[in-house]
Amino acid sequence: MDVAVQERIKTLDKATVRSGIMDFEKKFDEWEGSVKGKDLDELCPLTHKFVDGAYIREIFMPKGTLLTSKIHKICHPYFVMKGDCSVLTDEGVVRIKAPYNGITQPNTKRILYMHEDTIWITVHVTKHKDLEQIEDEVIAKSFDEVLITKEELYKLKGE
């Protein structure tokens, strides 16, 4: 990514970047070349696995794919098992090459561009096995819906 763009993002507050990502997603969804619904599911297939107390979600994203993630409510780990992608969040732009692992923080929404075929895995702590229930638990419909973590509450209280 252009260094000037990266420096510009660093000067913006998180709310401005989040708003920009949401605006991008809206315009991208309206673009006649965008892929949605079942076509997106075919382009970027998901694999779902369940173990006691956790849901594991794997997505394959082909080279050249540009997409936005959903808004994450809950802190969880992610693993990039294969590929190379650029990721924009309210923290800025990072280039991620497999193998890689990180932690998704609450209130995270990403724009991703795949430089190579990419496999991204997330792990969510949940007692549910129903995908709709899991999505209601871990995905926010807006930034206003995101839950505050215990750690953030303790910081807020000065503990």
**Looking up tokens 């930034």, which residue turns up?**
143
Judged against a pLDDT cut of 50, whether residue 1 lies above it is answered with no
- The per-residue pLDDT for range 90-105, each reduced to its tens digit, is 777 899 999 999 999 9
Residue spans per domain, the chain = 3-142
Q: Which helix (H) or strand (E) holds 68?
A: strand 66-68
3-142 — its CATH code?
Answer: 2.60.120.10
Output the pTM of the full model: 0.76
Q: Which helix (H) or strand (E) holds 132?
A: helix 131-138
Q: Assign residue 32 a region: left if phi > 0, alpha if psi is -120 to 50, beta otherwise?
A: alpha
Provide the mean pLDDT of the chain. 83
Looking at residue 11, what is its pLDDT? 61
- The per-residue pLDDT for range 3-37, each reduced to its tens digit, is 555 555 556 677 777 777 777 777 766 766 566 67
